[in-house]
Structure 1
C-alpha cells in the first residue's frame, strides 16, 4: 500500500508543477501581448504626429494661397492706378492737344513705357501665379505621399503583430498538445485510462 501512495503523490507533484509552468507561460503570453499593445500605442503616436505634420503642410498651403491673393489684390490696385493715370492723361491731352503738339510724342513714349511696364507686371504676376500653383501642387503631392507612407508603415506593423500573435498561439497549442500527450502516457503508465477519468 505505501508504494501506491507514493505514486499518487508523485502524480500530484508533476501535475502541480505542470500547472505552474502553464500558468507561467500564460502570464508570459499576457506580458507579450501587453508589450505588443505598447508597441501599437507608439505606432499610433507616430500616426498622430504624421497627421500634425500634414496639418502644418496644409496651413503652409493656405498661407501660400493667401500670399497669392494679396499679390492679386496688389496687382489689381496697381492696374487700377495705372488705368486712372492713363485716363487722366487722355483727358488732359484732349483739352490741350492744340498747344502740346510737341509734347504728344513724348507722352506717347511715356504711354508705351507704361504699357510695357504693365505687360511686364502681368508677366511677373503670371509667373508668380504659376510658381505658387506649382508649389501648392508639390505640397499637396508631398502631403499625399506622406499619408500613404504612414498608412503603409502602420499596416506593416499591424501585419507583423498579427503574425507574432499567430506564432505565439501555434507554439501555445503545440505545447498544450505535448502536455496532454505526456499526461496521457503518465496515466497509462499507472494503468489508468484517460477516458475513464
Structure 2
C-alpha cells in the first residue's frame, strides 16, 4: 500500500503531530514491508511448490510418455504378430481350401467313373442274368423234352418187355405143361400118382 500524502499546510501547522504521523506512517510502512515480505515468501513457497509440482508433473509426464511409447511399441508388435499370424493362417486356409477343392474335384471325377462303372456292371449283370435265364429256360425245355423222351422210351421198352415176357411166358407155359405131362407119364409108368407126391 502506498502511504497517503498529506498537504504541506498540515505539516507546517503542527510539527509534533506531523512527527507522530510520520512515525505512524513509518511503522505502517514497516508493517506493510513485513506483510509484503510474507506475501513474497508465501508466493516464493508457492512458486517453489509449483516448480516442484511442475517437475513432478514433467517427470510423471515423461514416465507416461515412455509408458505410452512402450504401449505403442507393444501394440505395434502385437499388430505385427497378429498380422503375420493372420497372413499365415490365411495362407494355410487358402492352401487347405485349394487342396480340398482339388480333392473334391478328384473325388467327383472318381464318383462319375464309379457311377459309369456301376451302370456298366449292372448292365452286364442284367445281360448275364437274361442270358442265364435264357440258358436255364432252354435247359429246362431240353430237360422236359428229355424227360418226355425218356418216358416214351421207358414206356416203349416196358411195353416191349411186357410183350416179350408174354411171349416167353406162353412159351414156358407150353414147355412147362409139356414137361408136367411128361413127368406125369413117367411117374405113371412107375406106378405113382402125381397128386400123391
TM-score range, shorter chain: 0.3 to 0.5
- TM superposition score normalised by structure 1: 0.36
- Higher RCO (C-alpha under 8 Å, 6+ residues apart): 1
Q: Larger Cα Rg: Structure 1 or Structure 2?
A: 2
After TM superposition, the score normalised by the length of structure 2 is 0.36
